[in-house]
Amino acid sequence: REDLEHIAYPKRINFGTKAGHYLLKLLVPPTVAGSIIGRAGAQIKELQTTYDVVIKLSQNTQFYPESNKFTSSERIVLVTGPPDQLCKVAEFIQNLVRNPPTSRDSDSLLSMGDPNRRLQMMKMVVTNTTAGMIIGKGGATVKGLNETYDVRIQASQKDDLVMGERVITVLGPEKGVNNAMEYIKKEKSTDCDSALIHC
């Protein structure tokens, strides 16, 4: 296992955060990462101002390690802020994933079999505790979420590649994905390890 401290779920981050702020950790294709930043950083500045959040992205060559066969190189997006604002930012990012920019680099987004599959996915990194809450006893909770929101939620294996973390993939129609993400956000808010200011 390689040294992955730079991408592991941080217990505390020096984002200048306030009490009650939480961390949202998403994975996005490289082309989407560029759209989040925008020309000369204009888009990321607007997002931070509009939603009162702080957004950090991994470097161009820094990707989250995954064994999922549907995953290519995924950039890491860290967003900290009030819980109600995190889902708004997630919805904005999901729209970018579903409507990626057209460029020569867009092939990297679609290099995973079905070209439409990644466009319908939202990928979030959570702690083992939060993942357990989402799955539920015997998988009961995740089955209910799949039926309620018409989505397919999958979790990577426990400590698959990054200790203490699991990747939650939500696949389905945009509205269903957004609603499922809202549920996951609420579960994260009860997980002390997900808060920047611990319980």
**Whole-model pTM?**
0.80
Measured distance CA(146)–CA(50) in Å, rounded? 32
Segment 49-71, tens digit of pLDDT: 999 999 999 988 888 886 554 44
**HSE-CB for 173 with a 13 A CA cutoff:** 7
Backbone phi, then psi, for 126, in 5-degree steps? Answer: -130, 170
State the Cα–Cα distance between residues 174 and 50, nearest whole angstrom: 22
Kindly report, residue by residue over 151-196, the tens digit of the pLDDT.
Answer: 999 998 886 667 888 899 999 999 999 899 888 877 776 766 655 4
Strands (E), the chain: 22-28, 54-57, 75-81, 121-127, 152-155, 165-171
